[in-house]
Amino acid sequence: MTRRGPDCIDAPGRRLFPPLGLDDPALPAPGGYALPAVFEPINVTGEFAGRRHCLVCENGLNSVVMIFARRSSGPLEVAADEVETSIAKDSPGKLGGFAVFLSEDDKLEDQLKDMAPKRDLKQFVLSIDAPAGPEGYNVPAEPRSSSCYIRSTR
């Protein structure tokens, strides 16, 4: 699955995953980026709540906002609200969004289940994965959030 644009950068400007080489056959045009791998976090909200499900795959070639976090926080909840609003305003199915919380905290799932209705998150999915993060995404180990906006190639 190939995406275009230099948008997969965390807050300090580090790439969350590396660009493909220009001679790579998977790259449709200069400046493209490829997601390194699919991964299946445990979905806490959304259609697949309570199960492992690949949110990258679910969004396919649509634009998507992907947030990696170590814990829930006020600013992260505000960002989730803003993405939820953008998803609702966008053409149906053209924009997706999700957060992957990288933690083994036993209380996190209940916190996220409480956050979703409090913030009225209907389409922005909350999920949990291992603290190391998905392989190949180079999620920083520091306890802060990293976000990535991936533009559609359509």
What residue segments make up the domains of the chain, in order of their start? Answer: 36-150
**Maximal CA-CA distance, the chain:** 48
Tokens read off for 105:
């905290």
Tell me the C-alpha to C-alpha distance, in Å, between residue 42 and each of 28, 37, 53, 76, 151: 32, 16, 7, 19, 24
- Residue that the structure tokens 């389409």 belong to: 123
Q: What is the mean pLDDT of the chain?
A: 77
For the domain made up of 36-150, the CATH class stated in words is: alpha beta
Check pLDDT > 70 for residue 118.
Answer: yes
- Range from 14-28, 50-64, 75-89, 95-109 carrying the lowest mean pLDDT: 14-28
Is pTM beyond 0.85? Reply is: no
Tokens read off for 106:
């036993």
Tokens read off for 96:
């997706």
Q: Pairing between strand 95-102 and 125-129?
A: parallel
